[in-house]
């Protein structure tokens, strides 16, 4: 299993306190990419020598305390220009070599970030499935043939798979939110214009915005702050008003919840249950809750593909489509060519109707501050999308495609998993420039659901779409490892090895004395500010939920089962040790990085 790259906050701590260098990190990134042959997540990557040289220059000339994204690896959707790299927009024959960086990319590089490469997408950013690319179809990190979502498919998967710490996508109809939902990560769709779209191949120029994928809300906001700025080359750019910089706290907010009759989950009972659970968690965080009708939102969303805005998609590509029709995928071409149905009269009628709908929605913000909706009403496999690529794409966009037409900001957050193992997600929406307020509530929600009563459902990410009895992941650190003396306690209860991982750098590992002289490893979590925290190697075992109680009954004191934070930000059940037991004669073996590494080193010394 490739080593996962940490979050921005984890890497920042490691640079400042753990001795990590940008060169070390670049080598880890390259190791994680080796053997993947680039696809279908990546369309092109920065040459290894170039990435290492950039990292070495950064280490020699910059201070991690002064650059907000010092040494943080990131990816860029391949409809955004990077100087010297080919921009394909998911169409090889369209590709061109970019003469300069898009302003949003340049600001990230100036903030110290390390660009790793350019990622796959639904061709010309037209689609929400991740299955419309000649470079191959991305699958969700949860496996089982589940779509990754699009159009920013590669960017979302690269982050969720731990290949980079954050990535840029774009979002016109939901492309920065649907892939986040289907891969269990954060999707930040800022207010249009906060991130420059200069140097971005347009999908629908008046609606496009650059989006951010990350594993943590605060990380996504760090990227937004570093990349934000008005560019002279971008007529659509807007500065953040000074009075909207500060966020309102969740407890002061009025939350809008859709009326029951406006919610549609397309027969997916699991998503219905998860959304209700997410709303319940939000109720405990906000000041007031009210009901909101969604009819005007949905009617606005329908204008995007059933109105003249589809002609705006064609406006940027009409010449290429006429000259190279065979270079464009059939499904993409069919969507774009519907734009020929509309004339100037239709455009003005559409604008007038949208203005009426926007006025209705604007009045709702007098009653609520934030609206919560499902990100997607249901999920699909790649085979299911192939059966009905346009109809099921429309289903995916029901709760997303109105946002830019109505000038809304949005943050998408994970909302656990259904009983069938499918990822669930919800999106918080607010009026333009409410980004920081939405982020505060999103962060509070993710923190609250980490300790929710239904934690097995909300916190444990399956490695594949589940079809059998409910299962959970258990992080094991010592004698329960494969081949160790107590591993049978897992295998006899139906446990199967899911892979290797590391904890977040917030733990110490101790060797506790035992009567048999073998020693017992004890994992103790330390404060986030403790500079002596370490990442510790663990194995992840998939275990039936029904077997967890029996396993716990056999765990000897001072060990117990608790929540272990992994390097990628997930929380899974795992073996922990109570702090009282780690005084002398317990030996601190954290520096070894894991129980097996400690045992090997001890054997070598003897």
Active site residues: 77, 151, 175
Residues 6+ apart with CB under 8 A from 130: 120, 122, 137, 138, 139, 147, 148, 149, 150, 151, 153, 179
Strand-pairing partners, residue 521, are: 511
Is there a contact between 462 and 470 (Cβ–Cβ < 8 Å)?
Answer: no
Q: Beta strand 288-292 with 254-258: parallel, antiparallel or unpaired?
A: parallel
Verify cis geometry, omega within 30 degrees of 0, for the bond prior to 151.
yes
Q: Rounded to whole angstroms, how far apart are CA atoms 129 and 16? A: 39
Nearest alpha carbon to residue 445 among 252, 286, 567, 234: 286
Distance CA 258, CA 264 (A): 10
d(Cα 442, Cα 457) in Å, to the nearest integer?
19
Please give, one letter per residue, the 3-state secondary structure of 351-362: HHHHHHHHHHHH
Which residues, 6 or more positions from 390, have their beta carbon under 8 angstroms from its beta carbon?
331, 334, 335
Burial class of 20 by CB neighbour count within 10 A (0 to 12, 13 to 18, 19+): buried
CA distance 170 to 160: 17
Cis amide linkage into residue 163, ω under 30° from 0: no
Residue 295 CB coordination number (10 Å): 12
Rounded CA separation 565/27 (Å): 24
**What's the start-to-end Cα distance of the chain, in Å?**
30
Q: Beta strands of 448-570 (E only): which ranges?
A: 471-476, 496-502, 507-512, 520-525, 537-544, 559-565
Instruction: Tell me the angle at which helices 217-227 and 103-110 cross, rounded to the nearest 10 degrees.
Output: 110
Instruction: Please check whether residue 172 is in contact with residue 208, taking contact to mean a CB–CB distance below 8 angstroms.
Output: yes
């Amino acid at each position: 299993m490739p080593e996962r790259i940490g979050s921005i906050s984890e890497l920042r701590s490691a640079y400042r306190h753990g001795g990590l260098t940008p060169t070390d990190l670049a080598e880890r990134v390259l190791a994680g990419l080796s053997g993947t042959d680039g696809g279908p997540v990546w369309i092109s990557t920065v040459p290894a020598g170039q990435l290492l040289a950039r990292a070495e220059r950064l280490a020699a000339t910059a201070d991690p305390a002064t650059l907000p994204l010092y040494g943080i690896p990131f990816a860029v959707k391949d409809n955004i220009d990077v100087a010297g790299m080919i921009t394909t927009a998911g169409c090889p024959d369209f590709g061109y070599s970019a003469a300069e960086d898009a302003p949003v990319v340049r600001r990230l590089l100036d903030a110290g970030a390390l660009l790793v490469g350019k990622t796959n997408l639904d061709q010309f950013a037209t689609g929400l499935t991740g299955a419309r690319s000649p470079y191959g179809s991305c699958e969700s990190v949860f496996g089982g043939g589940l779509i990754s979502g699009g159009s920013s498919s590669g960017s979302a998967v690269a982050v969720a798979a731990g290949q980079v710490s954050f990535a840029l996508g774009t979002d016109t109809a939901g492309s920065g939110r649907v892939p986040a939902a289907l891969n269990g990560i954060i999707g930040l769709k800022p207010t249009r214009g906060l991130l420059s779209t200069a140097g971005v191949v347009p999908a629908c120029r008046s609606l496009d915005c650059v989006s951010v994928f990350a594993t943590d809300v605060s990380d996504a906001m760090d990227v937004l702050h570093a990349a934000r700025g008005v560019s002279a080359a971008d007529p659509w750019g807007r500065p953040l008003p000074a009075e909207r910089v500060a966020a309102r706290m969740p407890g002061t907010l009025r939350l809008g919840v859709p009326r029951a009759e406006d919610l549609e989950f397309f027969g997916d009972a699991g998503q219905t249950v998860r959304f209700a659970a997410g709303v319940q968690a939000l109720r405990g965080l906000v000041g007031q809750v009210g009901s909101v009708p969604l009819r005007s939102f949905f009617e606005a969303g329908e204008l995007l593909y059933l109105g003249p805005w589809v002609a705006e998609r064609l406006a940027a590509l009409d010449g290429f489509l006429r000259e190279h029709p065979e270079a464009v995928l059939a499904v993409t071409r069919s969507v774009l060519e519907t734009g020929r149905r509309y004339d100037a009269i239709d455009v003005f009628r559409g604008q007038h109707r949208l203005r009426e709908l926007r006025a209705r929605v604007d009045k709702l913000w007098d009653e609520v501050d934030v609206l919560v909706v499902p990100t997607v009403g249901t999920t699909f496999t790649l085979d299911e999308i192939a059966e009905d690529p346009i109809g099921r794409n429309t289903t995916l966009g029901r709760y997303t495609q109105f946002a830019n037409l109505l000038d809304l900001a949005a943050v998408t957050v994970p909302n656990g998993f259904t009983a069938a193992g499918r990822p669930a997600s919800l999106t918080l929406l607010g009026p333009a420039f409410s980004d920081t307020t939405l982020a505060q509530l999103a962060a509070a929600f993710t923190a609250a659901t980490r300790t929710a009563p239904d934690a097995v459902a909300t916190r444990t990410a399956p490695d594949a779409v589940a079809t059998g009895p409910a299962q959970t992941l258990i992080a094991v650190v010592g004698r329960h490892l494969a081949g160790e003396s107590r591993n049978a306690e897992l295998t006899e209860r139906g446990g199967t090895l899911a892979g290797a991982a590391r904890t977040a750098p917030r733990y110490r590992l101790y060797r506790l004395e035992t009567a048999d002289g073998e020693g017992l490893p004890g994992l103790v979590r330390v404060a986030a500010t403790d500079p002596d925290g370490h990442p510790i190697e663990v194995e992840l075992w998939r275990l039936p939920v029904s077997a967890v109680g029996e396993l716990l009954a056999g765990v000897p004191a001072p060990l117990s089962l608790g929540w272990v934070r992994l390097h990628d930000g997930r929380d899974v059940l795992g073996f922990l040790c109570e702090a009282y037991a780690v005084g002398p004669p317990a030996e601190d073996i954290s520096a070894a990085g894991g129980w097996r590494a400690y045992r090997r080193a001890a054997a070598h010394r003897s």
